[in-house]
Structure 1
């Protein structure tokens, strides 16, 4: 089984090849560059370096959001195209779950990935490891960071926060949670595509035609268009 994992859901771009329970190749950057230009060359280079051809692939696993509207759309579109063309299963994994899986494996508490959504809002969720497997405590959501931090004070264990956007929100998290808040190290803030591959390894494939990203909210431009349309229709 050779799994290709693709993540373009935020600034980090990552691809990985996972074969026979082993990571055989992984490529990752954290740059504000156009993923649509860089993702296929990254896949092709990794495949070549690992001496794999498309016919060797048995599953595609993609980060389905939440995150950057454009970034999520790029990754999902490429993953769907590859899965359809090669006639192999497609699996989508939460972009937040990937972060939690990497940082929280040996943490005795809860893990809260943080992705900035502007205006004091964040995309987040809550996870913990149970019997060696990552379990969801709170599903993906868009919430005000201050409200989320206050809610987490009710938890009876420390909270590990992870994500490249933490510097934007760490002061408020510390203010509300104090010593209950733990921050992941710098090397843990990028979602590893190999973790993505592992998360999707045993999951059944989804219908390629009906597979959609998890944006949580509409792109801002689309939301404004719908709002303007509503105002026109309502007079």
Structure 2
């Protein structure tokens, strides 16, 4: 049986998911602000045990590549790359925006909207943002923006009467200003203010086809992380 290991520690949680080529068989999720490095490997081990899966049964590993916490992204990538390299299997990466968009789209209990605005927490003044139209086309590309700049960009694109779904763990901070913008004819939907979960990777476009792609051995373990902003560094003062 072919199985896959999915990992995320991109922001305020650690999560691990194991799937066959048809169904999820193991999943763990733990919210946390710090301590990802000490949690992710034991979580992988416990999820593998619960799913009765050994590493030699894996046909690929998938990991979120951002945007998110600089440290968190590197922690999950290091774990994913170590497992992929040691087992000689492919390593795939998935955008956190794509993971959240996939989760929203797959949730049949949610109303369809004209726009999907995804805001991810950066723990800074700016938020990580992406906006899609109902066809899944990006109308605001992935970037780091302040809340006022987000509203300014959305105002240029918004058409009167359009519905807007706001998602992601930073979405709640934008609700008031977006509702002001779209009144009186527009409507906002705010049911999903969660961050990324490794389980969300299964809802991304073409995920299940990766089981077929992984049979081909022409692959790279190189993953480009989406930081979207410069790191916060300072030059030490001279003594």
The alignment's TM-score, normalised by the length of structure 2, stands at 0.81
Q: Deviations over 1:157-197 (max 9, x none)?
A: 322111222333333333334464524325x6142322213
Partner residue, 1:143: 145
Conserved in 2, the CA contact under 8 Å of 1:100 and 1:112? no
2:209 pairs with 193, 199, 202, which one? 202
Does residue 212 in structure 1 map to residue 224 in structure 2?
Answer: yes
The separation in 2 between residues aligned to 1:169 and 1:198, in whole angstroms, is 25
Partner residue, 1:4: 5
Conserved in 2, the CA contact under 8 Å of 1:18 and 1:24? yes
Q: Secondary structure in 2 aligned to 1:184?
A: strand
Q: Secondary structure in 2 aligned to 1:191?
A: coil
Matches within 5 A, 1:36-185: 36-105=37-106, 106=108, 107-118=112-123, 120-128=125-133, 130=135, 135-153=137-155, 154-156=157-159, 157-178=162-183, 180=186, 182-185=188-191
Displacement of 1:82 in angstroms is 1.1
Q: 1:177 to 1:70 in 2, by over 3 A?
A: farther
Conserved in 2, the CA contact under 8 Å of 1:102 and 1:191? no
The separation in 2 between residues aligned to 1:169 and 1:155, in whole angstroms, is 15
Q: Secondary structure in 2 aligned to 1:189?
A: coil
The separation in 2 between residues aligned to 1:64 and 1:110, in whole angstroms, is 24
Displacement of 1:214 in angstroms is 1.2
Q: Secondary structure in 2 aligned to 1:214?
A: coil
Displacement of 1:136 in angstroms is 4.1
Greater displacement, 162-171 / 211-220: 162-171
Is the helix fraction higher in 1 or 2?
1
In structure 1, runs of 5+ residues without a counterpart are 229-235
Q: Secondary structure in 2 aligned to 1:32?
A: coil
The separation in 2 between residues aligned to 1:138 and 1:21, in whole angstroms, is 33
The separation in 2 between residues aligned to 1:40 and 1:99, in whole angstroms, is 23
Partner residue, 1:232: none
Conserved in 2, the CA contact under 8 Å of 1:104 and 1:129? no
In structure 2, runs of 5+ residues without a counterpart are none
Instruction: Give the RMSD, CA atoms, in angstroms.
Output: 2.6
Q: Secondary structure in 1 aligned to 2:71?
A: helix
